Homo-oligomer: A and B are copies of this chain.
Amino acid sequence: MTVHVDKPKGAPQSVTAGPIQGSRKIYASPADRPDIRVPYREIVLTDPDESPVRVYDPSGPYTEADAVIDLAKGLPLVREPWITARNYVAVEPRPVKPEDNGNVSADALVAPCPTKRMVRRAASGQLVTQYEFARAGVITEEMIYVAHRENLCREAMLAEAEAKIVDGESFGAAIPPFITPEFVRQEVARGRAIIPANINHPELEPMAIGRNFLVKINANIGNSAVVSTAADEVEKLAWAIRWGADTVMDLSTGRNIHNIRSWILRNSPVPIGTVPIYQALEKVGGDPVKLNWQVFRDTLIEQAEQGVDYFTIHAGVRLHYVPLTANRVTGIVSRGGSIMARWCLAHHRESFLYERFDEICDIMRDYDVSFSLGDGLRPGSLADANDAAQFAELETLGELTKVAWGKGCQVMIEGPGHVPLHKIKVNMDKQLRECGEAPFYTLGPLTTDIAPGYDHITSGIGAAMIGWFGTAMLCYVTPKEHLGLPNRDDVKTGVITYKIAAHAADLAKGHPAAQVRDDALSRARFDFRWEDQFNLSLDPDTARAYHDETLPKDAHKVAHFCSMCGPKFCSMKITQDLRAEVAAMSPEDHERLVGMHAMSQEFLAGGSRLYVPTSE
């Protein structure tokens, strides 16, 4: 379903909406807080003996059955009553300047999203950030929301799984069987989790990033100087969250970025992250050397007022680290990192992001914009992985984490990059140690350099592993990485690949509710409930289409085989016959069969073998 919207010039024209096939959107509330409505996606199965499966759902109102999406009006204000109750100060918004939209000519100007929101800022002497509330022992509505959301009705599902033992290796994470609001508060207070939630983003459906919660994924959108428009970007947002992106970074550069961002924020139920140095650079004509604190500071305020939930700040790229990259195979591959390195070297001065870090904290704290401390010196090739430059920066990020906490800010840390399998765990361990367990947010990592066109896979491998080791959020990589700007299909492929990586990590960590969906799908598969198998999958449309490519008839949707093996060779069918046969056995026959196994075990345990190896 596509919802069309009447719109001012340059505004988004339509957006993908409606439920994912086979699913329906539901809302549930904690027992004592009926006013807090937490969204889930429920997959109803065809077998009446099977409970519906509820899955985590970041897609917002777009996937409601009768979604009425008016992009010009923006999404419902989920957080408005909570924010209002906190007595922030309403401020006159900073006036929009021509440079905010890249000095675009009037005829090329994209109109801003027409809906108006009150702009708020911290009141003096008042708690502002989720971190401050948590430290003060206050459980916010956002924490209650997150607790309920993370549990995924875990109680009911766990009971159903009949107290199944959940194993796993969590490498020191401490995922509780059940998540309470108090647990969320404690994790936020310890800095082990963040709830990115700008006080100017009331449309947000709160979510947590931390290694004792479900592993999250981020999708990047953004125009570039070469291609893409406002309409594309809002549609990309809706599309990315439809398939499971938990946060979205708007990496736009070029013209109209202020106004495009207004459309994105007013229509985003997920946290939006940005890299403010990109816009600052636009404002100084694209020359890194001309950057300065004033224009950067002004950009932070501009974006914080719009409601951006987290900022990537490359404050760890210090002047004296730059020479450490001189002999790298691929130098500095982070855009923000290279911009700051260029500035430092040109001025022969310490980075103003580092020197002004206190002031940056003060600004971000005033709106509860979370830090995503950027890895400007991440390796861009296996050859550069885990080198002196990368780790020097990580140590600085650890130092800055503690500064930001001291200022009341929420913090996560960005990580690599290109890293071979055997060097991944060192990254995680060092990050936890240096950064006091602040959440790690990694790009991939890519485990080989030789597969452009398939870097969603080279990086999905690394992402699953580092997620298992403790990374809290995985930044997706699309098949177009290194080659071009992703289109709609690429965004979906990237998101699904990263949902796989995140889920594989959750399973391996021993997340108590993670395997419920796998088990439900496997039962459907074994029972030849094809529709259930499709609907339980991460991408029902593709699963169904692939099946139908070779067996398109409706009758085959209930067929007890597929085209892989055909009817005679279907192991599942044979096994079902087998199971029926075992069930029909007399108790004596069954006893004898099982007894044979026991006897044989004893025989082997006693050191006897039917055959004696020739080496003996």
A410 near B: Cβ within 8 Å? no
Report the stretch among A10-18, A29-37, A113-121, A513-521 that lies at the interface: A513-521
- Interface contact A448-B500, CB-CB below 8 Å: yes
- Interface contact A483-B546, CB-CB below 8 Å: yes
Specify the chain B residue showing the minimal Cβ separation from A458: B500
CB < 8 Å neighbour of A574 from B321, B324, B339: B339
- Interface contact B496-A578, CB-CB below 8 Å: no
- Interface contact B517-A450, CB-CB below 8 Å: yes
- Interface contact A518-B382, CB-CB below 8 Å: yes
The answer to whether residues A453 and B537 also contact, given A224-B565, A420-B508, A564-B484 and a CB cut-off of 8 A, is yes
Report the stretch among A79-87, A122-130, A365-373, A395-403 that lies at the interface: A395-403
- Interface contact A457-B458, CB-CB below 8 Å: no
A163 near B: Cβ within 8 Å? no
Main secondary structure of the interface of A (DSSP, over half): helix
- Interface contact A577-B402, CB-CB below 8 Å: no
- Interface contact A577-B609, CB-CB below 8 Å: no
The answer to whether residues A575 and B329 also contact, given A323-B593, A380-B522, A450-B538 and a CB cut-off of 8 A, is no
A-side interface residues, number (CB < 8 Å): 148
- Interface contact B546-A421, CB-CB below 8 Å: no
- Interface contact B565-A521, CB-CB below 8 Å: no
- Interface contact B331-A578, CB-CB below 8 Å: yes
CA distance in complex: A301, B337 (Å): 65
CB < 8 Å neighbour of A566 from B224, B496, B525, B568: B224
A319 near B: Cβ within 8 Å? yes
The answer to whether residues A464 and B484 also contact, given A326-B582, A382-B518 and a CB cut-off of 8 A, is no
The answer to whether residues A331 and B399 also contact, given A224-B569, A281-B568, A483-B562 and a CB cut-off of 8 A, is no
The answer to whether residues A406 and B450 also contact, given A382-B518, A579-B331 and a CB cut-off of 8 A, is no
CB neighbours (8 Å) of A382 from chain B are 507, 515, 518-519, 522
- Interface contact B278-A550, CB-CB below 8 Å: no
A600 near B: Cβ within 8 Å? yes
CB-contacts of A8-29 with B (<8 A): none
Specify the chain B residue showing the minimal Cβ separation from A590: B323
Specify the chain B residue showing the minimal Cβ separation from A546: B483
- Interface contact A323-B597, CB-CB below 8 Å: yes
CB neighbours (8 Å) of A567 from chain B are 225
CB < 8 Å neighbour of A569 from B253, B447, B550: B253
The answer to whether residues A522 and B582 also contact, given A452-B543, A500-B457 and a CB cut-off of 8 A, is no
Shortest CB-to-CB span from A591 to chain B, Å, is 10
A325 near B: Cβ within 8 Å? yes
- Interface contact B569-A281, CB-CB below 8 Å: yes
- Interface contact A421-B464, CB-CB below 8 Å: yes
CA distance in complex: A613, B582 (Å): 66
- Interface contact B450-A521, CB-CB below 8 Å: yes
A451 near B: Cβ within 8 Å? yes
CA distance in complex: A337, B281 (Å): 63
The answer to whether residues A526 and B329 also contact, given A549-B484, A569-B225 and a CB cut-off of 8 A, is yes
A465 near B: Cβ within 8 Å? yes
The answer to whether residues A525 and B330 also contact, given A485-B550, A614-B406 and a CB cut-off of 8 A, is yes
A168 near B: Cβ within 8 Å? yes
CB neighbours (8 Å) of A542 from chain B are 453-454
Shortest CB-to-CB span from A297 to chain B, Å, is 20
CA distance in complex: A422, B341 (Å): 40
CB < 8 Å neighbour of A319 from B562, B572, B596: B596
A49 near B: Cβ within 8 Å? no
CB neighbours (8 Å) of A610 from chain B are 399
CA distance in complex: A466, B565 (Å): 26
CA distance in complex: A604, B614 (Å): 62
Specify the chain B residue showing the minimal Cβ separation from A253: B569
- Interface contact A593-B536, CB-CB below 8 Å: no
A405 near B: Cβ within 8 Å? yes
Shortest CB-to-CB span from A361 to chain B, Å, is 11
CA distance in complex: A563, B503 (Å): 31
Task: Digitize A586-604: 1 where CB-to-B-CB distance is under 8 Å, 0 elsewhere.
Answer: 0001100110110110001
CA distance in complex: A589, B253 (Å): 34
CA distance in complex: A512, B313 (Å): 38
The answer to whether residues A576 and B452 also contact, given A286-B568, A500-B458 and a CB cut-off of 8 A, is no
CA distance in complex: A325, B578 (Å): 10
Shortest CB-to-CB span from A98 to chain B, Å, is 18
A417 near B: Cβ within 8 Å? no
Task: Digitize A312-355: 1 where CB-to-B-CB distance is under 8 Å, 0 elsewhere.
Answer: 00000011111111100111111101110110011010000000
Task: Digitize A449-473: 1 where CB-to-B-CB distance is under 8 Å, 0 elsewhere.
Answer: 1111110111011001100100000
Shortest CB-to-CB span from A46 to chain B, Å, is 16
CB < 8 Å neighbour of A563 from B333, B357, B484, B505: B484
CB neighbours (8 Å) of A460 from chain B are 457, 460-461
Shortest CB-to-CB span from A610 to chain B, Å, is 7
Specify the chain B residue showing the minimal Cβ separation from A486: B564
The answer to whether residues A575 and B332 also contact, given A421-B508, A564-B485, A566-B253 and a CB cut-off of 8 A, is yes
A523 near B: Cβ within 8 Å? yes
Given contacts A380-B526, A447-B500, A453-B546, 12 further A-B contacts (CB under 8 A): A332-B571, A342-B578, A346-B581, A402-B615, A421-B504, A448-B500, A450-B536, A451-B539, A452-B537, A452-B543, A453-B538, A483-B564
20 residue pairs A–B, Cβ–Cβ below 8 Å: A167-B422, A168-B420, A169-B422, A224-B564, A227-B550, A253-B566, A322-B578, A326-B579, A326-B582, A382-B507, A382-B515, A402-B611, A421-B504, A422-B508, A448-B507, A448-B518, A450-B536, A450-B538, A453-B545, A484-B551
The 4 closest A-B pairs by CB, nearest first: A225-B566, A406-B614, A402-B613, A331-B575
